Structure 1
Amino acid sequence: MKKSRTHDRYASVHQGFGWKVPQNFNIAQVCSGRWAAQADAARRVAVREHVQGAPARQWTFAQLQQAANRLSQVLTRLGVQRGDRVAIVMPQRFETAVAYMAVLQMGAVAMPLSMLFGPEALSFRINDSQARVAICDEAAVAAVLQARPDCPGLQTLIGVGHASVQADLDYDTALAAESGRFKPVRTFAEDPAVLIYTSGTTGNPKGALIPHRAMMGNLTGFVCSQNWFGFDPFKAERPSKAVFWSPADWAWTGGLMDALLPSLYFGRPIVAFNGRFSPEVAFEILHSHGVTHTFLFPTALKAMMKAVPDAKARYRLKLQAIMSAGEAVGDAVFAYCQQQLGVTVNEMFGQTEINYVVGNCARLWPAKPGSMGKGYPGHRVAVIDEAGQQCSAGTPGEVAVNRFDVHGHPDPVFFLGYWNNDKATQAKYTGDWCRTGDMAVADEDGYLWYQGRTDDMFKAAGYRIGPGEIENCLVKHPAVANAAVVPKPDQDRGALVKAYVVLSPDALAQRSRAVSSAQFEDEVRQSLQLHVRALLAPYEYPKEIEFIEQLPMTTTGKVQRRVLRLQEEARAKGAAT
């Protein structure tokens, strides 16, 4: 892939783009039904499963559609109707893709739930959504069964794989009893398709109701962040072969709307892996499946960089694009991706309610290391102040997206609203601007620079601190695998900058060999403080550093700084009493 810093086509692409949203639109039809109707449906691979130590299994679009039709018939017999919510609690596997297609082509609403959720998290979402049916496999069946006594509205549990023994209905047996024919419901683009709950880092999670049209709204972000996904945007030629993989959970927006659905939309195979992420497994998947396009969290890229610094010498990769989101990538990881993976990483910014709205596309405009990019085509993005006015370049504000594009046409990417929570939906908007709750600075060229969540920013000794820049600096140090920065209450300064640090594998090995682990940690602390002071402003270096085994993370891969911040506040109160 050509890496160009001289040709910037951003303005022409952004200004020349316009939305054409049909009145009737269904995600399952465009992601599966239309491909199953093609002559090559029995040969075109939809899902390829990676199994460690064994040959990969794969399923075609013909198999995907036939299984979806059978499951739609099963759900119809169970009384699921248009608009009803169906919980899908499964990891990356073929049956998960089948479940989404089956639910969506019925006009029902798919409600993805992470297999990492415990009984309390599951029961809240199942009750809040009033889901009547849940589909799960062995990864989540124990938690679902624990939650079920608190979910009186949940009528039927369908078990996939080994979960069939404990469920009301065996998935394989139920599907085998039905025919492979089903007439899809004709849905409007505005109809609800997915009910997906936010991460819930503060308070109870809210259910964001996503319409079918949002699939179209996502596409510009997907193709841009994936360097056009094998297509040439300026030539009428057949696209090159593309294979997609991401460790992102298909129960999360990043895995569902940014990986599974767009891959199927373009009729390309997606690799499914139902296992724990590790840098070594990630490289194995990228190498053995010839993955060309991927979405990797910054935390995953950091781990890969630390574990395999010489990736170029060890693996033959076919990567054409890497998209990353959730946290700032930072220039250390940015350089690693260019030098060792052969790709300029495209940072992206979005959230459950509006998904892809900001990002980079190395193929069409130059990326700036550390920047999360510009508004993607079709989206009007700005940094605004508390009154809803656009901030000048260099002034921090909140990232917001307008309901209308640059031509005044409605942007299809927007969610319908929060489930049964009109007050929260209204609070999300200032006029036509949808607030994201994320702080950024726009530079003179229109690139946005992430500053952190509005509730992650803090003041120390009168200075406004954004944790992202300090964390990025810390990760550049060879002793650090990951880091999170939070305020520690201080009577004199209001707050001190405190860093929670996860040591790298090399540093852990050195600590285990040290005569005194406490002395080793003190030496690392001093080294890290000098490292930050040499690269950032004097007031930004962490006055205190605490080493921990792992950072608290959401199920979507974001660091939960709030957990650490509350911990510091509790410690301060305890010390005061």
Structure 2
Amino acid sequence: MKRLVDLRFILKELTRSHPRIIIRDSHTHKACHPKNFTDYDTIKHEFKFPQISGHFNFAEDVLDKWAEKEKAGGRAPNPALWWVDGQRREVQWSFEELGFHSRKLANVFTELCQLRQRDRVFLMLPRIPEWWLVNIACLRTGTVLLPGTCQLTARDILHRLRTSGAKCVVTDEFLAPLVDEVAPQCPALNCKIIVSHSNSRRDGWRNLQDLMSHVSSNHVCVKTPRDDPMSIFFTSGTTGSPKMTQHSQCSFGIGLTVNGKYWLDLTARDVLWNTSDTGWAKTAWSSVYGAWIQGSCVFVHRMPRFDTSTVLETLSKFPITTFCTAPTAYRMLIQEDMSKYSFGSLQHCVCAGEPINPEVMQKWKQATGLHIYEGYGQTETVLIAGTFKGMDIKPGSIGKASPAYDVQIVDDEGTPLSKGTEGNIGIRVKPHKPFCLFTEYTGDPEKTAECYRADFYLTGDRGYMDEDGYLWFVGRADDVILSAGYRIGPFEVENALIEHEAVAESAVVSSPDPIRGEVVKAFIVLTAEYESHDKSQLVADLQTHVKQVTAPYKYPRKIEFVEQLPKTISGKIRRVELRKREWSTKPEAE
């Protein structure tokens, strides 16, 4: 192993000095640049975050440093941000250009909007370059960013503005009317900025382009204490109102090093495309901090809705080396005829948001020659666990613990459990709480306190750790099905179902039963060729299939065929919605 690590180090140094040297995978013959190669145990043992005392600001301490390297010729000639809209319009900004534009916007915030450090800015924009500029301008001014998806309703917007006390909102001409509906009920809101390239005007709103034309590009970055609030993300709110999850300047600004360097395996030569919605923390993970910590190019496609042909064409046309999308998206992509496309630049594929089915991983590997490396984390954390380059992939496992955390399986009181025993996935927070964990649920100390048991932060997810240290996700704590004394994780049943050629997608939840208390129910989206098949026979076939693939007691006693599954903005299946629907009706005997 030592010799292998040394060889990889030499190759890494060679390609850094001589970027024209290309190494090809002996199995797939795809070009691949040796990057952060090492073995997991070495990463875990040697990994340390930089020690930051006093002040830290990502804009000054990371982005501006990359701009300096860029000017000195010390970085690959990739743009820092590369945006396309599918209609032949492109924006390519270097780190220096990002600095120029974001400083102007920072002056808009402080000089024209009178925003001060720690004031809150609510941002709702689609995937357009201005979204990234607002992110950086908030960093430069020390204002706290609150991202929101463009699919919010007026009621959602009202809750976020009133709960946060945001003083400024930045959005586009399509969402501005929704803000106007609720603005009179938000006394703290005193600045509304609209991003519009059509020169249209709206009463009570200030046009971003006009504002930036009246300010200088000279701006001195605010000195933010390392523990100052940096961003607040609203959780999805599957139970109760969405909570405000607050992160500090260091939490993501340094903490996501573990994502960018080890899981995404990025260098300054890479072009990363992450398809996440701008309202999801995953966009911060990969399309801001994780990528730019490594000096990589962030690639963005405007793509208002996920479209499989657009994704495959984009991966073929542009020099994208690293691709990140949700498991749902991979399930959609492998249903296309992928043999029509060539992925000559693609080197590394990852997914996050929910577990990915082994069958999907296998089909993607057959079509592209590439594995899908899974990552597991939350809005409250950086990467908790994942599969990293150089690790053996165990299909169905979410990988091993991130170097950032001590991850254990614990009981409801926070006591670590033995290997192979199911329990709560927890992160050790005593004697020292990791700085790359969220600060608090702002304004809700009770909810914050509920997350902790003894020495651990409980993620709310259930799982177990095998003898090799691999973690296996069972489900959300409230997703686990208790049937006639058996504990059944929905993901294992979904894995079995997806292996059947009739199943395009599935979601498994508990359903009330007068005898067993609850039973397994599967909601299934059929593939096109099976939509006209006899449904009663399909039910029998699928039940038999699950019994053969996994333990017989886990088979779905109820099956319902649906046209689509309810999903969150980020593409996660909303099992909670299906479960509520099941339990709102009276149990019936089979």
Please confirm whether the aligned pair reaches a TM-score higher than 0.5, indicating the same fold.
Answer: yes
Aligned residues: 548
In the alignment, what sits opposite 2:20?
none
CA distance in 2, matches of 1:60, 1:70: 16
CA distance in 2, matches of 1:2, 1:17: 27
Identity percentage over the alignment? 30
1:390 to 416, 419, 422: 416
CA 1:477–1:165 in 2, change beyond 3 Å: closer, same or farther?
Answer: farther
CA distance in 2, matches of 1:527, 1:336: 22
CA distance in 1, matches of 2:72, 2:155: 42
The range that moved more, 312-321 or 445-454, is 312-321
Quote the offset at 1:264 in angstroms.
2.4
Quote the offset at 1:559 in angstroms.
1.1
Contact 2:522 2:560 in 1 (8 A): yes
**Structure 2 matches for 1:148-163, cutoff 5 A?**
148-161=183-196
Contact 2:461 2:475 in 1 (8 A): yes
CA 1:502–1:147 in 2, change beyond 3 Å: closer, same or farther?
Answer: farther
CA 1:312–1:14 in 2, change beyond 3 Å: closer, same or farther?
Answer: farther
In the alignment, what sits opposite 2:134?
99
2:564 to 531, 535, 550: 550
The range that moved more, 280-289 or 21-30, is 21-30
Contact 2:343 2:368 in 1 (8 A): no
2:125 to 86, 90, 112: 90
CA distance in 2, matches of 1:481, 1:290: 30
Contact 2:257 2:293 in 1 (8 A): no
Contact 1:123 1:151 in 2 (8 A): yes
1:249 to 277, 287, 292: 277
CA distance in 1, matches of 2:546, 2:419: 26
**Structure 2 matches for 1:74-473, cutoff 5 A?**
74-76=108-110, 77-161=112-196, 165-166=201-202, 168-214=205-251, 215-226=253-264, 228-230=265-267, 241-274=269-302, 275-308=304-337, 311-312=338-339, 314-361=341-388, 363-403=389-429, 411-473=434-496
CA 1:161–1:187 in 2, change beyond 3 Å: closer, same or farther?
Answer: same
CA distance in 2, matches of 1:139, 1:478: 41
CA 1:157–1:397 in 2, change beyond 3 Å: closer, same or farther?
Answer: same
Quote the offset at 1:327 in angstroms.
1.7
Letter matched to residue 185 of structure 2? D
CA distance in 1, matches of 2:315, 2:129: 19
1:21 to 4, 29, 51: 51
Contact 1:221 1:359 in 2 (8 A): no
Quote the offset at 1:422 in angstroms.
0.9
CA distance in 1, matches of 2:70, 2:520: 61
Quote the offset at 1:484 in angstroms.
0.6
Contact 2:105 2:134 in 1 (8 A): yes
CA RMSD of aligned residues (A): 2.2
Letter matched to residue 165 of structure 1? R
Letter matched to residue 324 of structure 2? F
Contact 2:316 2:341 in 1 (8 A): no
Q: Deviation string for 1:363-419 (max 9, x for gaps)? A: 232121110011111311111111211111110011111126xxx765221111111
Q: Deviation string for 1:34-68 (max 9, x for gaps)? A: 23344539965122122224253322222221111
In the alignment, what sits opposite 2:512?
489
Quote the offset at 1:221 in angstroms.
2.7
CA 1:27–1:184 in 2, change beyond 3 Å: closer, same or farther?
Answer: same
Letter matched to residue 270 of structure 1? V
Letter matched to residue 401 of structure 2? G
CA distance in 2, matches of 1:461, 1:196: 39
CA distance in 2, matches of 1:454, 1:421: 21
SS at match of 2:236: coil
Question: Relative CO higher for 1 or 2, CA cutoff 8 Å, sep ≥ 6?
Answer: 1
Quote the offset at 1:425 in angstroms.
1.0
Q: In structure 1, list runs of 5 or more residues that go unmatched.
A: 231-238, 512-518
CA distance in 2, matches of 1:29, 1:286: 32
Letter matched to residue 377 of structure 2? G
In the alignment, what sits opposite 2:11?
none
CA distance in 1, matches of 2:474, 2:25: 31
SS at match of 1:249: coil
CA distance in 2, matches of 1:31, 1:506: 51
CA distance in 2, matches of 1:345, 1:545: 29
Letter matched to residue 27 of structure 1? F
Q: Deviation string for 1:208-264 (max 9, x for gaps)? A: 1101111211211332222x214xxxxxxxx6x210111101221111123332222
Quote the offset at 1:493 in angstroms.
1.2
SS at match of 2:379: coil
CA distance in 2, matches of 1:120, 1:525: 40
CA distance in 2, matches of 1:298, 1:382: 25
Contact 1:199 1:556 in 2 (8 A): no
CA distance in 1, matches of 2:353, 2:529: 26
Quote the offset at 1:119 in angstroms.
1.1
In the alignment, what sits opposite 1:9?
39
In the alignment, what sits opposite 1:47?
81
CA distance in 1, matches of 2:563, 2:105: 43
Letter matched to residue 188 of structure 1? P
The range that moved more, 439-448 or 197-206, is 197-206
CA 1:460–1:410 in 2, change beyond 3 Å: closer, same or farther?
Answer: closer
SS at match of 1:502: strand
Letter matched to residue 113 of structure 1? G
CA 1:60–1:222 in 2, change beyond 3 Å: closer, same or farther?
Answer: closer
Contact 1:403 1:414 in 2 (8 A): no
Letter matched to residue 260 of structure 2? F
In the alignment, what sits opposite 1:236?
none
Q: In structure 2, list runs of 5 or more residues that go unmatched.
A: 1-23, 28-36
CA distance in 2, matches of 1:381, 1:437: 13
Q: What TM-score does the superposition give when structure 2 sets the normalisation length?
A: 0.88
Letter matched to residue 531 of structure 1? H
CA 1:8–1:536 in 2, change beyond 3 Å: closer, same or farther?
Answer: farther
CA 1:55–1:133 in 2, change beyond 3 Å: closer, same or farther?
Answer: closer
Quote the offset at 1:535 in angstroms.
0.8
Quote the offset at 1:448 in angstroms.
0.3
Contact 1:116 1:140 in 2 (8 A): no
Q: Deviation string for 1:433-456 (max 9, x for gaps)? A: 111000011000110000000000
CA 1:144–1:284 in 2, change beyond 3 Å: closer, same or farther?
Answer: farther
In the alignment, what sits opposite 2:107?
73
SS at match of 1:48: strand
Q: Deviation string for 1:283-334 (max 9, x for gaps)? A: 12211122111211111111111223xx255323422211212221121112
Letter matched to residue 263 of structure 2? S
SS at match of 2:296: coil
CA distance in 2, matches of 1:115, 1:343: 33
Write out the 4+ residue segments of structure 1 that deviate beyond 4 Å after TM superposition: 1-4, 41-44
Q: Deviation string for 1:322-377 (max 9, x for gaps)? A: 1212221121112123222222211111101112121110x232121110011111
